[in-house]
Amino acid sequence: MQLIAMITMLIDHIGLLFFPGDLVWRVIGRIAFPIYAYALVQGYAHTSNFRRYALRLLLIAVLSQIPYQFLLNNDGLNVVATLLGAVLVLRMLDGVKPGPLSALLIAGCCIVMEVLPFDYGAYGLLLVLIFKYARSTQMLMMHLLLNLVYLLSYGWIIQMVSLLPTMVIVFGPRFWKRLETWRVPAWVWRSFYPAHLAVLAVVVYGIGGG
């Protein structure tokens, strides 16, 4: 699972930087974020030290921010910041009962993620919440509904490809468990996002300088 997330994210960013007119790179890249979102939910559920887990995400987000802005010319916050925000929301929701207060909390956090903005914005938070609270086919249907809303609102047609990992989670648990056993070293998993952005920045600006 982790390996697929890293490879598809790398493909997405290579396509964005070097082959901007070739859509297939971006299509493949849509597979990455749902896997990261699902992994976040699993990490949150199984961590024995939430503070250390959140601080690790914060560190990765900080390290990633400068290359993220240089590469993408983006003034927003990178996707790890989005995941950090989402896990903080999960923590806050655990402290309130389901009802108007929790709905207001989610709505407020969605607005914050859109205004700042975070990468993927409210979409990223809502997908994490789907993976946290939905079960089985309900998870897939809610993800489909979320994608349809963004398709109609923003024309995110290639985002429909992001349903593929969710389909595997829902309908292929045995296959998914096998993928889970193919684990990469922890330091590779944690450092890959800022490291690959830094390497791509060197390549892009090296080519530009030459």
Cβ within 8 Å of residue 163, ≥6 positions away? 34, 140, 143, 144, 147
Q: What is the value of pTM for the model shown?
A: 0.86
CB 124 within 8 A of CB 33: yes
pLDDT 10s per residue in the chain (210 long)? 789 999 999 999 999 999 999 999 999 999 999 999 999 999 999 999 999 999 999 999 999 999 999 898 778 999 999 999 999 999 999 999 999 999 999 999 999 999 999 999 999 999 999 999 999 899 999 999 999 999 999 999 999 999 999 998 888 776 767 766 777 888 888 999 999 999 999 888 887 665
Q: Could you tell me the residue range of the domain that residue 25 belongs to?
A: 2-209
β partners of residue 118: 77
Domain count, the chain: 1
